[in-house]
């Protein structure tokens, strides 16, 4: 356990994948992490592991589609550790289908989690960051928004909406108080596509992730790199993907 990263970091979607790996990585570098997700059994196991390794962790049942949950997550960080330095908005869902399938419920789910969930985090944390005089939004976006492909129209649309949102927020916040970072992972071995309803599509993407995907730890290291920069340095965009990804 190192003590170089004296930051308080709240992470949504922290129960698995990139969020879990980010919590472990940042805690190992000395950060205090506040874990948010719906699966509290997993959060409790993760927090216990971090504490057993000498780190600092707290947790909260968080559904990012509920604005009040993000407010409670930010309040927990401030109450428990005295401040909030970074909010990592990592919670996300992916539903893959052609637009013609008209899976409107899936569209709503992606908009609510991937876009509205980020907005809820910004609404909760921005006043705290402003009052403190510093703060950092890190958001997991996707290479799906960089290379547009069939069956991912709405998913990529939500990710590009977030990319646009953060860039506008950055331009509105050039007084040195706020930093924003968009992380765009490619194929990463996570549970993201495990809930794709079409069995053939689910199997196809899972196979590609298994064959090409990098570990979530690689993305966690990229997030740590952005967070560790001095306050006057902003890493605006990072794309991280397997070397064999087309």
Task: Please name which of 38, 39, 231, 244 lies closest in space to residue 136, comparing C-alpha atoms.
Answer: 231
Residues labelled catalytic: 155
pLDDT at 245: 81
CATH code given to domain 8-238: 3.40.50.720
Has this prediction a pTM greater than 0.85? yes
- Candidate ranges 162-171, 183-192, 209-218; pick with highest mean pLDDT: 162-171
The residue extents of the domains of the chain are: 8-238
Mean pLDDT of all residues in 12-26: 97
């Amino acid at each position: 356990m190192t003590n170089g990263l004296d930051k308080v970091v709240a992470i949504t979607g922290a129960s698995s994948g990139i969020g879990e790996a980010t919590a472990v990585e940042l805690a190992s570098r000395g950060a205090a992490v506040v874990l948010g997700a719906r699966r509290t059994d997993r959060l409790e196991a993760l927090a216990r592991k971090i504490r057993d390794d000498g780190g600092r962790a707290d947790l909260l049942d968080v559904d990012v589609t509920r604005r009040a949950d993000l407010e409670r997550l930010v309040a927990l960080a401030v109450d428990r550790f005295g401040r909030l330095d970074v909010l990592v908005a990592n919670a996300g869902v992916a539903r893959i289908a052609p637009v013609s399938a008209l899976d409107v419920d899936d569209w709503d789910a992606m908009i609510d989690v991937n876009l509205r969930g980020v907005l809820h985090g910004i609404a909760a944390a921005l006043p705290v960051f402003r009052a403190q005089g510093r703060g950092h939004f890190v958001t997991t976006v996707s290479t799906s928004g960089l290379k547009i492909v069939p069956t991912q129209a709405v998913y990529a649309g939500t990710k590009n909406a977030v990319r646009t949102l953060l860039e506008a927020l950055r331009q509105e916040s050039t007084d040195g108080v706020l930093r924003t970072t968009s992380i765009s992972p490619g194929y990463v071995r996570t549970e993201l596509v495990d809930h794709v309803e079409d069995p053939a599509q689910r199997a196809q993407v899972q196979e590609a992730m298994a064959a090409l995907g990098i570990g979530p730890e690689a993305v966690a290291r990229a997030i740590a790199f952005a967070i560790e920069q001095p306050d006057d340095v902003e890493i605006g965009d990072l794309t991280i993907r397997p070397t064999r990804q087309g």
